[in-house]
Structure 1
Amino acid sequence: MADIRGSLKPRSFRRLLAWLLFQTLLTGGLCLALAAEAGRPDDLSSPPNPLTKRAKEQFTQKFAPDYAGRAKKGVFLRSLFALDPRAAAARNGGRDVASPFQDRADVERWGWNAELDWLPENEDEDPFETPGFGNELDEAFNDPEHKVNWGKSGIAWYSHSIEYTGSDGQLKEPTEGSYSNVVNPQDGAFVFDMNYSPRSKNTATKKFPIPDLEFLSDISYFQWLQACEEKGVSPDRISLIFRARVSYKPTFDIIIRALKEAGRKKVPSWKDRATLTMSTIPGLAILGSTHGSGAAMFLIQHKAKLGLKRISEVVVWGSGSDGFEFGSEGKGEEGPYVHLRFTVEKV
């Protein structure tokens, strides 16, 4: 935080007032989370009112897409980590937070074809069977405090490529959406990699209806569950969630702002990586971003198998051996990327 001693110019004074107001919001959100945690029941089994189809508006609260709104959403998500499904629904104005999709049979039921290949068996050049991030996470995987053995990893590719019966009883055509992610149950690591939702594939043509089971947070959970079952590992071993090669502008802009607020002068390399805890506004803003929310909802919606977990911090670093300067973003697919690693802990 900048030194506020001495006289303040009007603009600086306004910024200080805004910062103090946001700290009040942050503290209030934390108090609500702690109060809810103190009275939580212990039933993690299912949402109180399971749905056939999830409401498209997940939360009763609305969060602005700007930096302050993302931080406010981060406060809200943080407050849900410690709550069982009933308490989380109460915190969410009575609307279920837990996913209605908890059974792996839902994968095929809603038209998804599930493939999981374990390394080093996977040696072909299919873009969906080799990770999109290449070797860009190698340094992070070799972190002695959070080591990930690449040789024990698998690549899960779920494609929406099977005809299925919709909620209306009619036969539906698949959308060709696909989710390809890396799983490593032994080391408790999950890497979000190349993901194209049914809705994104259908945006231009609107040719096919969207399946009820569509969201990345659900499919990634089923990928993790399948991997853990095949390796004989408990799903609650999850301890690291990576978001690789983030370039999506709304999230990218939030990350850049968070780094600036944290006092960084550029996007750092892995060597100079930034670690932002969930007790800070920059950390909460990233948690509330699209990519942070996906990691959070992976945990929040599936507590029956994952247990009560929380994200304690996010590590941020950029592509390239030296990171990159602010203002270098926005150059298309060949432009710079940001990587995120969320640390997951038991509540």
Structure 2
Amino acid sequence: MHRRTAKTSFYLVLLAAFIVGLIWRQPAQWSSSASEAVIVRRSNQANQSVPSAFPVVHDQTSHGERLRKRGVLDDCHNRGCSLMKLCETSEIEDKWHATFTTFNQIGQYGWTTQPDEKNDDEAASSKPALNALNIPEVGDGSWTKIKWLNSVAVDVEGHHYLASEAYYTNIFNPSHGAILAVDNHAPKDTSPDMESGDITPLYRWSDITFLTWLSHTTSDAELQGIKHIIRVNVINEDTVDCITNFVPDRNIDNLPQYPGLQFESSSVAGLTLLGPPNGVGVGFFLLQHKARLGKTRRVTSVRVWESSTPDEIDMMGSIPCMLFELSD
């Protein structure tokens, strides 16, 4: 079956849900005023305390209700604080060092490459940021798109690991120090009922992405020259909810298009946005590979912007992008 893009698939699912809702809705509900409408948002890991000025979410919105009940903002902010502290520390405990260090280990642990697929959505969504950074657009020969699929059951060191069908699709540009993370789903997403002992230990986005980056660089200078990681068309629920808390009126539909909003990594927003899944992966990419990327490499700012057109937002809602700027 032909795989739809994450953004297109999301639109189709949301449209179907909207149509079903209209069909089953009771007649009396059609008279509800606009002021009574509930904002519905999409569905899709510290040791420093949260500042007293930490923003309070709006409980009348569905995203605010999720954040309040589950403590997502507190958790993400604390996690972001811990990651930032570890990234800024030149020497860390052995437990944070990468276990996997060679490119050949990807295949050894059950991952196979899949055909390169053209995707107009990711090209369009990343275009304004790449133009502003003076980086060629997707499609230029300096980019290489790689999709890894955990499709093979393997036996490694006496243990049998099953295929989880997890997949990581990213686009690499070592000559310009950039990675686009475009379609990434961990084993817990693709095989939620699989026992943890059956999942390959090489399963993190940060490890797969680093080893691929390592294999495509031609010198230490290029390896350590990673400056930008862009999360394209973010649909993870926790990440979107955290972004929503820092946009005008805490309404994700008010997120501006590029250049969007930029937050320094030392700010409440910057630290919080390092804490949800789309930020944690970037943090671990830097943290666990200090020996190769640089001992104090860290996120210096986080930029978020709207990838959808106004018409798309009116019909289907917002889908943001995130740019993590990296430096020593």
5 Å-filtered alignment, 1:163-242, equals: 163-167=153-157, 169-204=158-193, 209-229=198-218, 234-242=222-230
Task: Write the letter of the residue equivalent to 2:75.
Answer: G
Structure with a larger share of its residues in helix: 2
Task: After TM superposition, give the deviation of residue 280 of structure 1 in Å.
Answer: 1.1
d(CA) in 2 for partners of 1:261, 1:277: 20
Contact kept, 8 Å, 1:266 with 1:323, in 2: the verdict is no
Task: After TM superposition, give the deviation of residue 252 of structure 1 in Å.
Answer: 0.5
**So what's the TM-score if we normalise by structure 2?**
0.70
Contact kept, 8 Å, 2:243 with 2:252, in 1: the verdict is no
d(CA) in 1 for partners of 2:236, 2:311: 18
Say whether 1:266 aligns with 2:254.
Answer: yes
Contact kept, 8 Å, 1:262 with 1:282, in 2: the verdict is no
d(CA) in 2 for partners of 1:264, 1:162: 39
Say whether 1:247 aligns with 2:235.
Answer: yes
> Structure 1 residues 223 and 65 mapped into 2: Cα distance closer, same or farther (>3 Å)?
farther
SS for the counterpart of 1:99 is coil
Greater displacement, 131-140 / 261-270: 261-270
d(CA) in 2 for partners of 1:216, 1:321: 29
Residue in structure 2 matched with residue 9 of structure 1 by the alignment: none
**Deviations for 1:58-89, whole angstroms, at most 9, x for unmatched residues?**
xxxxxx742122112211111111224xx422
**Deviations for 1:131-189, whole angstroms, at most 9, x for unmatched residues?**
4624211111100x45345311110111212332144x144442222111010001100
Residue in structure 2 matched with residue 106 of structure 1 by the alignment: 105
Say whether 1:139 aligns with 2:128.
Answer: yes
Greater displacement, 128-137 / 282-291: 128-137
d(CA) in 1 for partners of 2:303, 2:269: 11
d(CA) in 1 for partners of 2:269, 2:96: 25
Task: Write the letter of the residue equivalent to 1:209.
Answer: D
d(CA) in 2 for partners of 1:307, 1:207: 32
> Structure 1 residues 285 and 165 mapped into 2: Cα distance closer, same or farther (>3 Å)?
same
Unaligned 5+ runs, structure 2: 1-48, 55-69
SS for the counterpart of 1:77 is helix
Contact kept, 8 Å, 1:254 with 1:285, in 2: the verdict is yes
Task: After TM superposition, give the deviation of residue 244 of structure 1 in Å.
Answer: 0.8
d(CA) in 1 for partners of 2:160, 2:264: 47
Task: After TM superposition, give the deviation of residue 233 of structure 1 in Å.
Answer: 6.3
Task: After TM superposition, give the deviation of residue 258 of structure 1 in Å.
Answer: 2.2
Residue in structure 2 matched with residue 276 of structure 1 by the alignment: 263
Residue in structure 2 matched with residue 52 of structure 1 by the alignment: none
Say whether 1:291 aligns with 2:295.
Answer: no
d(CA) in 2 for partners of 1:148, 1:315: 19
Say whether 1:23 aligns with 2:10.
Answer: no
2:148 to 142, 152, 158: 158
d(CA) in 2 for partners of 1:262, 1:148: 33
Task: After TM superposition, give the deviation of residue 336 of structure 1 in Å.
Answer: 2.2
Task: Write the letter of the residue equivalent to 1:88.
Answer: I
**Deviations for 1:218-240, whole angstroms, at most 9, x for unmatched residues?**
111112112214x9962101000
Contact kept, 8 Å, 2:123 with 2:137, in 1: the verdict is no
Quick one: higher RCO (CA 8 Å, sep 6+), 1 or 2?
2
Q: State percent identity of aligned pairs.
A: 22
5 Å-filtered alignment, 1:5-16, equals: none
1:67 to 70, 73, 77: 73
SS for the counterpart of 1:245 is coil
Contact kept, 8 Å, 1:199 with 1:210, in 2: the verdict is no
Residue in structure 2 matched with residue 319 of structure 1 by the alignment: 307
Task: Write the letter of the residue equivalent to 1:219.
Answer: I
Task: After TM superposition, give the deviation of residue 261 of structure 1 in Å.
Answer: 8.3
Greater displacement, 201-210 / 150-159: 201-210
Aligned residues: 261
Contact kept, 8 Å, 1:72 with 1:288, in 2: the verdict is yes
d(CA) in 1 for partners of 2:284, 2:71: 18
d(CA) in 2 for partners of 1:69, 1:305: 29
Greater displacement, 191-200 / 289-298: 191-200
Say whether 1:345 aligns with 2:327.
Answer: yes
> Structure 1 residues 202 and 22 mapped into 2: Cα distance closer, same or farther (>3 Å)?
closer
> Structure 1 residues 166 and 335 mapped into 2: Cα distance closer, same or farther (>3 Å)?
farther
**Deviations for 1:100-143, whole angstroms, at most 9, x for unmatched residues?**
1122232122111246xxxxxxxxxx6x5224624211111100
